[in-house]
Amino acid sequence: MKKVLLVIVALVMCAGAYAQIETPVRWSYAAKKLNDKEAIVFLKATIQPSWHIYSLNVKDGGPIKTSFEFTPSKLYVPIGKTSEPTPVTKYEKAFSMNVSYFEKEVVFQQKISLKSASATSVTGKLTYMTCNDKKCLPPEDVDFTIPLGK
Protein backbone atom coordinates (compact mmCIF):
# COMPACT_ATOMS: atom_id res chain seq x y z
CA MET A 1 0.00 0.00 0.00
CA LYS A 2 2.86 2.36 0.83
CA LYS A 3 4.49 1.64 -2.53
CA VAL A 4 1.27 2.48 -4.39
CA LEU A 5 0.96 5.74 -2.46
CA LEU A 6 4.59 6.63 -3.21
CA VAL A 7 4.09 5.94 -6.91
CA ILE A 8 0.97 8.16 -6.98
CA VAL A 9 2.80 10.98 -5.18
CA ALA A 10 5.75 10.69 -7.58
CA LEU A 11 3.44 10.80 -10.61
CA VAL A 12 1.61 13.87 -9.30
CA MET A 13 4.92 15.65 -8.66
CA CYS A 14 6.20 14.82 -12.16
CA ALA A 15 2.96 16.00 -13.78
CA GLY A 16 3.21 19.26 -11.83
CA ALA A 17 6.69 19.87 -13.21
CA TYR A 18 5.39 19.63 -16.78
CA ALA A 19 2.29 21.79 -16.18
CA GLN A 20 4.10 25.10 -16.31
CA ILE A 21 2.03 28.25 -16.25
CA GLU A 22 2.63 30.37 -19.32
CA THR A 23 3.17 34.05 -18.62
CA PRO A 24 4.19 35.66 -21.91
CA VAL A 25 3.44 39.22 -20.71
CA ARG A 26 5.22 41.20 -18.00
CA TRP A 27 3.75 44.50 -16.75
CA SER A 28 5.69 47.47 -15.39
CA TYR A 29 4.53 50.92 -14.30
CA ALA A 30 5.78 54.48 -13.99
CA ALA A 31 4.39 57.96 -13.44
CA LYS A 32 5.39 61.50 -14.25
CA LYS A 33 4.00 64.47 -12.35
CA LEU A 34 3.30 67.32 -14.76
CA ASN A 35 2.59 69.76 -11.92
CA ASP A 36 0.87 69.76 -8.51
CA LYS A 37 -2.50 69.06 -10.12
CA GLU A 38 -1.75 66.56 -12.92
CA ALA A 39 0.26 63.44 -13.61
CA ILE A 40 0.52 60.82 -16.33
CA VAL A 41 0.76 57.14 -15.45
CA PHE A 42 2.41 54.68 -17.83
CA LEU A 43 1.44 50.99 -17.97
CA LYS A 44 3.92 48.99 -20.04
CA ALA A 45 3.42 45.44 -21.31
CA THR A 46 6.56 43.58 -22.37
CA ILE A 47 5.42 40.70 -24.57
CA GLN A 48 7.43 37.56 -25.41
CA PRO A 49 8.13 36.80 -29.10
CA SER A 50 5.22 35.28 -31.08
CA TRP A 51 2.62 36.47 -28.53
CA HIS A 52 0.41 39.57 -28.59
CA ILE A 53 -2.15 41.41 -26.47
CA TYR A 54 -5.17 43.22 -27.78
CA SER A 55 -5.92 46.90 -28.21
CA LEU A 56 -8.20 48.96 -25.98
CA ASN A 57 -10.55 49.06 -28.96
CA VAL A 58 -11.80 45.64 -30.04
CA LYS A 59 -15.22 45.12 -31.63
CA ASP A 60 -17.83 42.84 -30.08
CA GLY A 61 -17.39 39.20 -31.07
CA GLY A 62 -13.61 39.44 -30.95
CA PRO A 63 -11.04 38.71 -28.26
CA ILE A 64 -11.05 40.31 -24.82
CA LYS A 65 -9.72 43.83 -25.20
CA THR A 66 -7.16 45.30 -22.84
CA SER A 67 -8.84 47.52 -20.25
CA PHE A 68 -7.88 49.57 -17.22
CA GLU A 69 -10.04 50.25 -14.18
CA PHE A 70 -8.73 52.88 -11.78
CA THR A 71 -9.76 52.57 -8.13
CA PRO A 72 -12.06 55.46 -7.16
CA SER A 73 -10.27 57.86 -4.82
CA LYS A 74 -10.75 61.22 -3.15
CA LEU A 75 -7.09 61.95 -3.95
CA TYR A 76 -7.14 61.58 -7.76
CA VAL A 77 -9.39 61.02 -10.76
CA PRO A 78 -8.53 59.83 -14.31
CA ILE A 79 -8.92 62.48 -17.02
CA GLY A 80 -10.41 61.16 -20.27
CA LYS A 81 -9.68 57.71 -21.63
CA THR A 82 -6.50 55.65 -21.50
CA SER A 83 -4.46 56.15 -24.68
CA GLU A 84 -2.43 53.69 -26.72
CA PRO A 85 -0.05 53.87 -29.69
CA THR A 86 -1.21 52.71 -33.12
CA PRO A 87 -1.76 48.93 -33.01
CA VAL A 88 -1.20 46.29 -35.68
CA THR A 89 -4.52 45.36 -37.30
CA LYS A 90 -4.87 42.01 -39.06
CA TYR A 91 -7.47 39.38 -39.82
CA GLU A 92 -7.50 36.56 -37.27
CA LYS A 93 -9.13 33.28 -38.30
CA ALA A 94 -9.88 32.39 -34.67
CA PHE A 95 -12.27 35.36 -34.42
CA SER A 96 -13.23 35.64 -38.13
CA MET A 97 -12.56 39.38 -38.07
CA ASN A 98 -9.89 42.07 -38.17
CA VAL A 99 -8.44 42.68 -34.71
CA SER A 100 -5.97 45.24 -33.38
CA TYR A 101 -3.11 44.11 -31.16
CA PHE A 102 0.42 44.80 -29.92
CA GLU A 103 3.58 42.70 -30.18
CA LYS A 104 6.91 42.98 -28.28
CA GLU A 105 5.88 45.91 -26.08
CA VAL A 106 3.30 48.62 -25.66
CA VAL A 107 2.95 51.58 -23.30
CA PHE A 108 -0.55 52.73 -22.36
CA GLN A 109 -0.95 56.21 -20.82
CA GLN A 110 -3.55 57.74 -18.53
CA LYS A 111 -3.69 61.38 -17.46
CA ILE A 112 -4.62 61.83 -13.80
CA SER A 113 -6.01 64.88 -12.00
CA LEU A 114 -4.53 65.13 -8.51
CA LYS A 115 -7.15 66.40 -6.06
CA SER A 116 -4.75 66.38 -3.14
CA ALA A 117 -1.04 66.93 -2.64
CA SER A 118 -1.10 63.82 -0.43
CA ALA A 119 -1.79 61.55 -3.43
CA THR A 120 1.22 59.21 -3.46
CA SER A 121 0.01 56.43 -5.78
CA VAL A 122 -2.65 55.41 -8.26
CA THR A 123 -4.20 51.96 -7.95
CA GLY A 124 -6.43 49.83 -10.10
CA LYS A 125 -6.85 46.67 -12.11
CA LEU A 126 -6.03 45.85 -15.71
CA THR A 127 -7.49 43.06 -17.81
CA TYR A 128 -5.88 41.61 -20.92
CA MET A 129 -5.85 38.54 -23.14
CA THR A 130 -2.74 37.00 -24.72
CA CYS A 131 -2.69 34.96 -27.92
CA ASN A 132 -0.23 33.56 -30.42
CA ASP A 133 -0.90 31.89 -33.78
CA LYS A 134 -1.74 28.58 -32.08
CA LYS A 135 -3.72 29.43 -28.95
CA CYS A 136 -5.12 32.04 -26.62
CA LEU A 137 -4.64 32.08 -22.88
CA PRO A 138 -7.57 32.91 -20.60
CA PRO A 139 -8.03 36.62 -19.87
CA GLU A 140 -6.00 37.76 -16.88
CA ASP A 141 -6.68 40.44 -14.24
CA VAL A 142 -3.70 42.23 -12.69
CA ASP A 143 -3.89 44.63 -9.74
CA PHE A 144 -1.50 47.56 -9.94
CA THR A 145 -0.13 50.33 -7.74
CA ILE A 146 1.78 53.12 -9.44
CA PRO A 147 3.84 55.43 -7.18
CA LEU A 148 3.50 59.08 -8.21
CA GLY A 149 6.86 60.23 -6.88
CA LYS A 150 7.51 63.85 -6.00
pLDDT at 91 over 80: yes
DSSP secondary structure of 26-74: EEEEEEEE-SSSEEEEEEEEEE-TT-EEE-S---TTSSPPPEEEEPP-S
Whole-structure pTM value: 0.84
Sorted by sequence, the CB contacts under 8 Å of residue 143 that are 6+ apart come out as 123, 124, 125
- What is the percent of the chain with per-residue pLDDT over 90, rounded to a whole number? 75
pLDDT at residue 4, rounded to an integer: 38
Q: φ, ψ for residue 70 (rounded to 5)?
A: -90, 135
Residues in CB range of 135: below 8 A, 6 or more apart: none
Domain coverage including residue 39: 20-147
**Residue 119 domain flag:** yes
What is the domain count for the chain? 1
Is 34 part of a structural domain of the chain? yes
Considering the domain boundaries, does residue 65 fall inside one?
yes
